[in-house]
Amino acid sequence: GENVEQHPSTLSVQEGDSAVIKCTYSDSASNYFPWYKQELGKRPQLIIDIRSNVGEKKDQRIAVTLNKTAKHFSLHITETQPEDSAVYFCAATPDSYDKVIFGPGTSLSVIP
Amino acid sequence: EADIYQTPRYLVIGTGKKITLECSQTMGHDKMYWYQQDPGMELHLIHYSYGVNSTEKGDLSSESTVSRIRTEHFPLTLESARPSHTSQYLCASSESGILYSNQPQHFGDGTRLSIL
């Protein structure tokens, strides 16, 4: 089955700097890669997702890149703000699965 | 408003009690999931459902059971609560896409469970 690794487990950046979180997956059949943000005491919420038919997707300050050959994908946050502080989870799944495999999470702290 | 609702939000209860955590969604989603999560930590899938009358065990061994008699309702039951069950339980749902089967999951606010 699918296995998703995520690095780093914790990340601190200065406000205004960029943050990058990297994930690797094991199942070459995986073709859907969502990212979730979970603020302290709140529910996880989807922030961006990408399917294997594209290599990059952007939404304002957030971008995700996918390298199918190397089986890794990354989240990029530019011009970080204190409200970006949260735990971020990557995930991967083949379309034939009905469940999504989550990475262990990255705790991002943006220092004002 | 279409959303996914969990009750109770917090529950403190003694060992040996039977507990049911409620989850309802008003989005008409086919797929529903239960996760166990210690605050800010990894999400562990304990049960999921493709639709009515379908239930499957997840990756984390659990002493809980689920049922899916109605599309919108997916309750989780612990027959005899133990201190090791203390955690947060998150319910989620997603639709079955026409072009792509896997779609984003929508999470509820969770139930914080403490077993004394």
List of chain B residues whose C-beta atoms are within 8 Å of the C-beta of residue A107: 40
Residue in B39, B42, B104 closest to A34 by CB: B104
CA of B16 vs chain A CAs: smallest distance (Å): 27
Average pLDDT, chain B: 93
Residue in B42, B45, B104 closest to A99 by CB: B45
What SS3 state is found at B83? helix
B interface with A, Cβ–Cβ < 8 A, is 31, 33, 39-43, 45, 48, 50, 56, 58, 90, 100-102, 104-110
Instruction: Count CB neighbours of A61 within 10 A.
Output: 13
Distance CA B80, CA B62 (A): 12
- So what's the pLDDT on residue A2? 84
- Reported as a single tens digit per residue, the pLDDT across B81-116 is 999 999 999 999 998 877 777 889 999 999 999 999
- So what's the pLDDT on residue B39? 84
Instruction: Name the one residue in this structure whose structure tokens are 């210690």.
Output: B38
- So what's the pLDDT on residue B62? 77
List of chain B residues whose C-beta atoms are within 8 Å of the C-beta of residue A99: 33, 45, 48, 58
List of chain A residues whose C-beta atoms are within 8 Å of the C-beta of residue B48: 98-99
Q: Does A52 touch chain B (CB under 8 A)?
A: no
Give the residue among B72, B111, B69 at the shortest CA–CA distance from B90: B111
CA of A101 vs chain B CAs: smallest distance (Å): 9
- So what's the pLDDT on residue B1? 79
What average pLDDT does the segment B14-28 reach?
Answer: 96
Contact check, Cβ <8 Å, B40/A38: yes
What SS3 state is found at B100? coil
CB within 8 Å of B51: residues ≥ 6 apart: B30, B31, B68, B71
DSSP A103: P
Per-residue pLDDT of chain A (112 residues; tens, 9 = 90+): 789 999 999 999 999 999 999 999 999 999 999 999 999 999 999 999 999 888 999 999 999 999 999 999 999 999 999 999 999 999 998 877 778 899 999 999 999 9
